[in-house]
Structure 1
Amino acid sequence: MKLSTALSFVLIGAASAFVPSSITTQQASRSSPSALFMTDDAVVPLRIGTRGSPLALAQAYETRRRLIESFPELEADGAIEICVMKTQGDMILDKSLMELGGKGLFTKELDTALLGNEVDICVHSMKDVPTWLPDGTVLPCNLPREETNDAFITANGKYKKVADLPDGSVIGTASLRRQAQLLSQNPTLKCVNFRGNVQTRLRKLDDGVVDATLLAIAGLKRMDMQDCATAVLDWDEMLPAVAQGAIGIQCRSDDERSLRYIDALNHMDTHVCVNCERAFLEALDGNCKTPIAGQARIIDGRIVFRGLIAMPDGSLKYETEATGSIDDAKEIGRKAGEELKARAGEKFFQMMVEMSPQQVLGQITK
């Protein structure tokens, strides 16, 4: 069966907003932290900002579902509005993320809408969110994390693992992190810039454009497409990206209404691990040419962290592990980043700055 048969995921009405309707003031208890704001007896909707890809929409609707579960009054018609917008990262697909500037490509337009009071909250894939946030915004909420590993995918499951790929095989990936770890295992592999939503990438694989690709298993699961995965790679084969598998919800720092809503959704274990990983990334301050991976887990009540930085061609790789108290999660991540930064040395990062996009992206860039 071709992978394209799994590409029929549809969200009914995803691109349309909920039309507000009137309810009485008595139906919305103002004494409750979750009370709907009312203007002239009309519902003031909670507006959710999201990208328009199928995965982004799945995450926005997952947020909507959890909000309604926690606050049943939000099930009323017009109580929640999904606001879909395109980001720079969505619109320019013929260039790599590195060539476009890397950080913030999937969040800038959402940030602008949030600060302009066009939306009340924004739902993000956390691995797309820069370690800095615009002034006046906060990101206090993470939903329960999905499995963080990468999925290895080949057409018709021809190759079952990375080691099975013949020398010279072409891998479709837009991720320098994945490229570096693949090439460290087999330097003969060629990585081609692979952009677009999940369905587009799988279609290209099905058409024989590449021999294999890698995607986050979390995204496939959220779209009920996990059967497309040939294998799920463990951390020894492919250490995932910082905050992979986590959904974050951002709002304005002075928006008490939105803060009350999303505070009820926060999954503390996920929040702690994501904060640890993002502290690691922030300490490294790697530019968009730097392959970085970092993952934290809570095991027996303690944080267990693994981190990695590498050259884009996989020729050089530095790894670290750390364990400590949950209360020290951010500090553990920060110290792990500082350790790798010291071990790699200034020359390592200077080489990243000086490398051309062609050198960074490998032999195949289109």
Structure 2
Amino acid sequence: MKTLPLKTIRIGTRDSELALWQAHTVEKQLNDLGYKTEIVAVKSQGDIILDKPLYELGITGIFTKTLDIAMLTGQVDIAVHSMKDVPTSLPKGIVQTAVLKRANVSDILVHKGNLDLSSDNVTIATGSLRRKAQWLHRYPEHTVVDLRGNVNTRMQKLQDNEWNGAIFAAAGLERINLKPENVIDLDWMIPAPAQGAMLVVALENDPFVIEATAKLNDKETEICTYIERQFLKTLEGGCTAPIGALAKVENEYIFFEGVLFSLDGKEKYFIEKSCNFDNYNTFGENCAKEILTKGGGQLMQQLREVLKTKQK
């Protein structure tokens, strides 16, 4: 069997602390397998443009586009992403090669102490339509304000403003040891599809890199995130609509929760189902279709029109 030439695998990443942590995690795993690596940090437009909500920028893959271009132009060999930031359809020429073992999937509320959620006079910050809709569904009298930037920037903005709290992905804060004492685990909030998972992508015509990174893949996480992202793709939500999805393996079955909200949180379409490993390939799609036929299709059309207007 012909041995592929050994080369240094250039790992592309955003230059935020969390993104670099993720890249170094992949680097260590590849190094442990005997591969040579190099980190290449690239600043994305999503980090630069902080004064507009993501859905107003008119692009769902804003955190991944810069790295896609870097890969396609030969600057890097692979890219490491928070999987929830990655569009459900990858660019032509780029393929998914590994999904690392999933971390904490939960959303958490970071607050400033003495928080009374039963009060109407509460302001919560988040840049996520999904988190905003679910919060307003549960606390319709609260005010939710926009919060942008990387994890460190958002934590600082929380301290600098009069807000009562801000919502974060637990995994992001835990990975870079930023999780403070004043947190509430939002176990009632359904996470973003693929939240807590890290994705590695490579060029489809690079067999050496594909073979190397495929060794990092966690099959259970790959299956669960596949179902969640298929659910998202079928609803046609991109990264903009208030859509949550979570698949979990228990014994021989995969249990799934999916939800679609209106922007104000008043409308909610929820599904909870299970399947076995023999028929998971279309499971996420079928769950999404069920939501669409029960009124979710009309809501998605309204969401597309509203978001299109905001982007003008």
Name the TM tier (shorter chain): over 0.9
Amino acid at match of 2:128: S
CA distance in 2: counterparts of 1:284 and 1:299, whole angstroms:
26
Runs of 4+ displaced beyond 4 Å: 30-33, 356-360
TM-score, structure 1 length as denominator? 0.80
Structure-2 residue corresponding to 1:48:
11
TM-score, structure 2 length as denominator? 0.94
Q: 1:158 aligns with which of 84, 89, 114?
A: 114
CA distance in 2: counterparts of 1:53 and 1:221, whole angstroms:
15
Gaps of at least 5 residues in structure 1 are 1-29, 38-44, 361-366
Q: Which piece of structure 1 moves more, 247-256 or 345-354?
A: 345-354
- Superposition deviation, residue 346 in structure 1: 3.9
CA distance in 2: counterparts of 1:154 and 1:358, whole angstroms:
33
CA distance in 2: counterparts of 1:323 and 1:247, whole angstroms:
24
Q: How does 1:231-250 map to 2 (within 5 A)?
A: 231-234=184-187, 237-250=188-201
CA distance in 2: counterparts of 1:343 and 1:287, whole angstroms:
20
Q: Does 1:67 align with 2:30?
A: yes
On the 8 A contact 1:154/1:230 being kept in 2, the answer is yes
On the 8 A contact 1:51/1:57 being kept in 2, the answer is yes
Amino acid at match of 1:350: Q
1:107 is paired with a residue of what secondary structure?
Answer: helix
Q: How does 1:201-212 map to 2 (within 5 A)?
A: 201-212=154-165
Matched residues, percent identical? 38
CA distance in 2: counterparts of 1:129 and 1:98, whole angstroms:
14
Amino acid at match of 1:294: A
- Larger-gyration structure (1/2): 1
State how many pairs are aligned. Answer: 311
Q: 2:65 aligns with which of 102, 105, 108?
A: 108
Give the root-mean-square deviation of aligned CA atoms: 2.1
On the 8 A contact 1:289/1:353 being kept in 2, the answer is no
Taking structure 1 as reference, are residues 267 and 94 closer, same or farther at Cα in structure 2, changes over 3 Å only?
Answer: same
CA distance in 2: counterparts of 1:121 and 1:216, whole angstroms:
24
| CA deviations over 1:265-302 (Å, ceiling 9, x no partner) | 10111111010101101111126552000010000121
Taking structure 1 as reference, are residues 108 and 185 closer, same or farther at Cα in structure 2, changes over 3 Å only?
Answer: same
- Superposition deviation, residue 226 in structure 1: 2.7
1:226 is paired with a residue of what secondary structure?
Answer: coil
- Superposition deviation, residue 70 in structure 1: 2.1
1:101 is paired with a residue of what secondary structure?
Answer: coil
- Superposition deviation, residue 202 in structure 1: 1.4
Q: 2:177 aligns with which of 202, 224, 247?
A: 224
CA distance in 2: counterparts of 1:238 and 1:319, whole angstroms:
12
Taking structure 1 as reference, are residues 106 and 251 closer, same or farther at Cα in structure 2, changes over 3 Å only?
Answer: same
On the 8 A contact 2:61/2:239 being kept in 1, the answer is no
